[in-house]
Chain A
Amino acid sequence: MNHDSSKGMGVLKRIFHHQYIWGVVAILLLLFINMIKDPSYLSITVNETNGNLVGNLIDILRAAAPVMMIAVGMCLVIATSGIDLSVGSLMVVAGAVSMEFLKGASDNLGAALAALGLALAIAAVLGAVNGLLVSVVGLQPFISTLVMMLAGRGIAKVITGGQNTASTNGSFRWIANGYVVGLPVVFLIALLVVIAVGLLVRRSALGLMIEAIGMDPKAARLAGVNRRGLQVLVYTLSGLLAGIAGVFATASVMTVDVSRTGDQMEMDAILAVVIGGTSLAGGKFNITGAFVGSLLIATLDKTVVFLGVSSSATPAFKALVIVVLCLLQSDRIRSLFKGRSPAAAAPSVEEKEVVAA
């Protein structure tokens, strides 16, 4: 009996070792709050005519899909101790490209695929530009991606002539609104992409090398890690994923709003990553955590709307959560919890900063 309980404790300990478990707890808590307001909140019904699942949970999955895309990209970028502030703007560029293309094209699958390919290619190219600025030019990541964040929205406005552009294409619309085996396509695509990226980085040495350049670029170089190539790869991937997110976001309404689409999404991505237990200091990443974080953000957004709280308060609330999580990740607070003196923890941070500079 005693043996059993200690084994149980060990499992619990292992579960709570993952920081994203708190994200899961928060999701359950939010769902519980919604259930108090409406006991049938969690119920999922099957649509009689087409067999699709309908319910609030399905809506949450659908809303989480774009956040998942940019969070996974952001996760890898942050692991190299960089940041990608341009994801929201690359979303709007991808949306603008696809809408502008579809506006003049016929309503068939070929046009939809062409629009998709074009949007993703342009987003990936802009991501690669970020990567080249960071790796070859040696610009700080937040400056290069800040330029891209502001220029990206400018590019989208130039593409659409400053107008919100709408178009019609059944196949393109299906990406965001269709169903396969009763589940929304958009969520299934997102899930597949997350799993693919996760397998790619964790089943190969890629993830390890990405973490290595985030931990100590000098040591990584001495170990023969190709820093420049990896940085370009990571920023390109982040741009490509942002492009997918942009397609998701515009396909659901078949309209691109040049000033609203993807607005402040970089905050959602950073928040999802930080909730997932990835340190903003770089050097490690957790894709499952980013996945959970995205689900939490979608749940939070839906809850705020469901409870009738003014949704204008959410960005400020999210920003506060980022500040609090930053504080929790700082050495001073950590040492407080561990009962060590902050002075003992400080030098390691300074060393890291010197390397980063």
Chain B
Amino acid sequence: MSITTESRTDVPGGRPDGAASEAGARGFAARIAGWVKSRIDLMPTLASLVIFVAMVIYGEAAYGRILQMNTISNLLINNSSLIIIAVGMTFVIITGGIDLSVGAVIAFSSVSGVMLINHGWNPWVVMIVMILIGSAFGSISGILVQYFNVQPFIATLAMMFLARGLASMLSTVPERLPDDSALRQLATKIKLVDGPKVNDFVITPGVIIAILVVLVAFFILHRTRMGRTVYAIGGSEQSASLMGLPVRSTKLWVYIISGSLSGLSAVVYTARLGIAQNITGIGWELDAIAATVIGGTLLTGGVGFVLGSVVGALVLGLMNVLITRDGGIPPAATTIITGGILLAFVLLQRLVQAKQRE
């Protein structure tokens, strides 16, 4: 609820000030208001940053031990896989599509990966295979969407059922990774800052992978021709193809990127947990969508930021930490809260869009 009221005070507050600046009084407030008006699409992202900071402050005040190095390290380590799929989801949603298959693809990829390692495959080869499994599912969704004109949510929903079904065919019990497997090296903790007692700043290769993914995705989306095309498709697919942009191939690539990142996320997740199961990743598609939307990407496409999705993923991660610390909220309620946050942000987006149209 605080989210919507916040936006209400933010957005309309800019208008009278903007009018004042036209009258000649160019004060500092007016300039800020003008900036707010020109970059109104940044508002949801800023709102999510504000919420993140507010959550940190609230957590620190209510439960303590939030603003310290090991909590922050754990936040990054535990959410690296979510950050990776949120980045993939950002690409898809900016084109106006959706990928509902990410959670199920992670389940199939990690179960088959662990089983292959247990059959004596080289772990490094298996990692590649796991990523390629994701790419394969992404390609099928992409082909269904761009070549056969199937609606994105139907195509990826079918892939979700298929991947989940295949994972259940492989195994319905938790598959354990051997303790000495090379895959586990992706979860070795690297101490960056040696704090007092256990309060160290540590990261894992998984976190480094996530950061690299974010940086590469940022570069692709904001600095390359392909990124421009992704935004153009989301803005208006017809205009994009009339401008001669490679709409069809880009649409296919977007799903391949999301699928491959799901595979990569499966690698990072499996390395961290050491267990894979056919029910892994249920509801992760909602987490990824929520992270993306919280980060300021419009569900209708055309607007979005990779870095915003990272903030969104961290907001969700921090929410989980706070729920665990609180102890009074049943863990089953987490999805209800995630859904509620997603809805609140979609409402915020509607308000911003309505303002833009005025």
Using a CB–CB cutoff of 8 Å, the interface residues on chain A facing chain B are 83, 85, 133, 137-140, 142-144, 146-148, 150-151, 153-155, 157-158, 161-162, 264, 267, 270, 280-281, 310, 312-320, 322-323, 326-327, 330-333, 346, 349-350, 353-354, 356-357
Contact assessment for A142 and B100 in the assembled complex, using a CB-CB cutoff below 8 Å: yes
Nearest Cβ on chain A to B323's Cβ, whole angstroms? 12
A327 and B144 in contact, given A137-B346, A146-B286, A147-B286 (Cβ under 8 angstroms)? yes
Contact assessment for A332 and B147 in the assembled complex, using a CB-CB cutoff below 8 Å: yes
Stretch touching chain A among B14-22, B150-158, B183-191, B307-315: B150-158
Which residues of the other chain, B, contact A315 by a CB distance below 8 angstroms?
A: 161, 164-165, 168
Contact of B162 (CB < 8 Å), options: A133, A142, A161, A323: A323
Contact assessment for A147 and B343 in the assembled complex, using a CB-CB cutoff below 8 Å: yes
5 further A-B pairs in the complex, CB-CB below 8 A; given A264-B161, A353-B149: A139-B299, A154-B332, A312-B172, A322-B161, A349-B149
Contact assessment for A146 and B285 in the assembled complex, using a CB-CB cutoff below 8 Å: yes
**Is B336 in contact with chain A by the CB < 8 A criterion?**
yes
Question: What mask results when residues 308 to 338 of chain B are scored 1 for a CB within 8 Å of chain A, else 0?
Answer: 0000000000000000000000101111101
Contact assessment for A318 and B165 in the assembled complex, using a CB-CB cutoff below 8 Å: yes
Which residues of the other chain, B, contact A161 by a CB distance below 8 angstroms?
A: 330
Contact of A323 (CB < 8 Å), options: B96, B158, B339, B347: B158
Nearest B residue to A325 by beta-carbon distance? B158
CA distance A178 to B158 in the complex (A): 36
Which residues of the other chain, B, contact A318 by a CB distance below 8 angstroms?
A: 161, 165
Which residues of the other chain, B, contact A317 by a CB distance below 8 angstroms?
A: 165
Nearest Cβ on chain B to A215's Cβ, whole angstroms? 15
Nearest Cβ on chain A to B254's Cβ, whole angstroms? 16
Question: What mask results when residues 111 to 142 of chain B are scored 1 for a CB within 8 Å of chain A, else 0?
Answer: 00000000000000000000000000000100
Nearest Cβ on chain A to B346's Cβ, whole angstroms? 6
**Is B169 in contact with chain A by the CB < 8 A criterion?**
yes
**Is B300 in contact with chain A by the CB < 8 A criterion?**
yes
Which residues of the other chain, B, contact A83 by a CB distance below 8 angstroms?
A: 153-154, 157
Which residues of the other chain, A, contact B96 by a CB distance below 8 angstroms?
A: 357
Which residues of the other chain, A, contact B169 by a CB distance below 8 angstroms?
A: 310, 312-313, 316
Contact of B158 (CB < 8 Å), options: A139, A162, A319, A354: A319
Nearest Cβ on chain A to B56's Cβ, whole angstroms? 25
Question: What mask results when residues 266 to 288 of chain B are scored 1 for a CB within 8 Å of chain A, else 0?
Answer: 00000000000000001101100
Which residues of the other chain, B, contact A314 by a CB distance below 8 angstroms?
A: 165
Which residues of the other chain, B, contact A144 by a CB distance below 8 angstroms?
A: 343
Interface residues of B in 72-127 (CB under 8 A from A): 96, 98, 100
Contact of B161 (CB < 8 Å), options: A139, A319, A357: A319
Which residues of the other chain, B, contact A157 by a CB distance below 8 angstroms?
A: 330, 332
Contact assessment for A139 and B343 in the assembled complex, using a CB-CB cutoff below 8 Å: yes
CA distance A85 to B157 in the complex (A): 10
**Is B289 in contact with chain A by the CB < 8 A criterion?**
yes
Contact assessment for B147 and A316 in the assembled complex, using a CB-CB cutoff below 8 Å: no
Contact of B350 (CB < 8 Å), options: A138, A154, A280, A313: A138
User: 6 shortest A-B CB distances, which residue pairs?
Assistant: A316-B165, A315-B165, A157-B332, A319-B161, A319-B162, A147-B339
Which residues of the other chain, B, contact A346 by a CB distance below 8 angstroms?
A: 149
**Is B68 in contact with chain A by the CB < 8 A criterion?**
no
Which residues of the other chain, A, contact B150 by a CB distance below 8 angstroms?
A: 280, 326-327, 330
Contact of A316 (CB < 8 Å), options: B166, B333, B347: B166
Contact assessment for B339 and A151 in the assembled complex, using a CB-CB cutoff below 8 Å: yes
Contact of B334 (CB < 8 Å), options: A154, A322, A356: A154
Binding site secondary structure of chain B: helix
Contact assessment for A158 and B333 in the assembled complex, using a CB-CB cutoff below 8 Å: yes
Contact assessment for A151 and B144 in the assembled complex, using a CB-CB cutoff below 8 Å: no
Which residues of the other chain, B, contact A323 by a CB distance below 8 angstroms?
A: 140, 144, 158, 162
Nearest Cβ on chain A to B355's Cβ, whole angstroms? 16
Contact assessment for A330 and B148 in the assembled complex, using a CB-CB cutoff below 8 Å: yes
CA distance A270 to B151 in the complex (A): 14
CA distance A357 to B236 in the complex (A): 10
Which residues of the other chain, B, contact A331 by a CB distance below 8 angstroms?
A: 149
**Is B238 in contact with chain A by the CB < 8 A criterion?**
yes
Contact assessment for B158 and A154 in the assembled complex, using a CB-CB cutoff below 8 Å: no
Contact assessment for B339 and A150 in the assembled complex, using a CB-CB cutoff below 8 Å: yes
CA distance A124 to B86 in the complex (A): 33
Contact assessment for A280 and B154 in the assembled complex, using a CB-CB cutoff below 8 Å: yes
Nearest Cβ on chain A to B237's Cβ, whole angstroms? 8
Which residues of the other chain, A, contact B342 by a CB distance below 8 angstroms?
A: 143, 147
Contact of A154 (CB < 8 Å), options: B335, B343, B346: B335
Subset of 8 A-B contacts with CB under 8 Å: A137-B346, A140-B98, A162-B332, A264-B164, A312-B168, A316-B165, A323-B144, A330-B149
Contact assessment for A150 and B286 in the assembled complex, using a CB-CB cutoff below 8 Å: yes
Which residues of the other chain, B, contact A142 by a CB distance below 8 angstroms?
A: 98, 100, 153, 157
Nearest Cβ on chain B to A354's Cβ, whole angstroms? 7
Contact of A327 (CB < 8 Å), options: B148, B166, B238, B335: B148
Contact assessment for A150 and B157 in the assembled complex, using a CB-CB cutoff below 8 Å: no
Q: Which of B153, B154, B346 has the most CB of A within 10 A?
A: B154
Contact assessment for A158 and B161 in the assembled complex, using a CB-CB cutoff below 8 Å: no
Which residues of the other chain, A, contact B334 by a CB distance below 8 angstroms?
A: 154
Which residues of the other chain, B, contact A148 by a CB distance below 8 angstroms?
A: 339
A326 and B144 in contact, given A137-B350, A158-B330 (Cβ under 8 angstroms)? yes
Contact assessment for A320 and B151 in the assembled complex, using a CB-CB cutoff below 8 Å: no
Contact assessment for A143 and B289 in the assembled complex, using a CB-CB cutoff below 8 Å: yes
Nearest B residue to A329 by beta-carbon distance? B150
Which residues of the other chain, A, contact B338 by a CB distance below 8 angstroms?
A: 150
Contact assessment for A151 and B335 in the assembled complex, using a CB-CB cutoff below 8 Å: yes
CA distance A267 to B161 in the complex (A): 7
Contact assessment for B333 and A140 in the assembled complex, using a CB-CB cutoff below 8 Å: no
Nearest Cβ on chain A to B276's Cβ, whole angstroms? 16
Which residues of the other chain, B, contact A320 by a CB distance below 8 angstroms?
A: 162
Which residues of the other chain, A, contact B282 by a CB distance below 8 angstroms?
A: 150
Which residues of the other chain, A, contact B157 by a CB distance below 8 angstroms?
A: 83, 85, 142, 270
Nearest B residue to A282 by beta-carbon distance? B151
Nearest Cβ on chain A to B309's Cβ, whole angstroms? 16
Contact assessment for B346 and A139 in the assembled complex, using a CB-CB cutoff below 8 Å: yes
Nearest B residue to A271 by beta-carbon distance? B161
CA distance A322 to B149 in the complex (A): 15
